[in-house]
Amino acid sequence: EREGIVENFDLFQQHLIVERNANNSNRLDVLFPPDYVNQLRVFAVLNQFRLQYSEEAA
């Protein structure tokens, strides 16, 4: 909301679902339902996987 990308953060937070897949423990299922601000049509994500963070990164 502060950067003008989404609106209604509280509702987004209520409807966001993140859960481990029941059939594949290596898969994470995400229902990501943002309320984008007017006219936002392109949303890009850089997803960088980490198998585990090191102690120094915590």
Name the pLDDT band for 58 (thresholds 50, 70, 90).
low
In 3-state terms the chain splits into helix, strand, coil percentages (rounded to 5) of: 15, 20, 60
Q: What is the pLDDT of residues 6-54, one digit of tens each?
A: 888 899 899 999 999 999 999 999 998 888 887 777 878 888 887 888 8
Number of structural domains found in the chain: 1
Residue 19, in any domain of the structure? yes
Q: In whole angstroms, how large is the CA radius of gyration of the chain?
A: 15
Whether this model's pTM surpasses 0.85? no
Residue 1, in any domain of the structure? no
Distance CA 39, CA 33 (A): 16
pLDDT given at position 3: 64
Name the pLDDT band for 1 (thresholds 50, 70, 90).
low
Domain that includes residue 50, residue range: 6-57
Residue 44, in any domain of the structure? yes
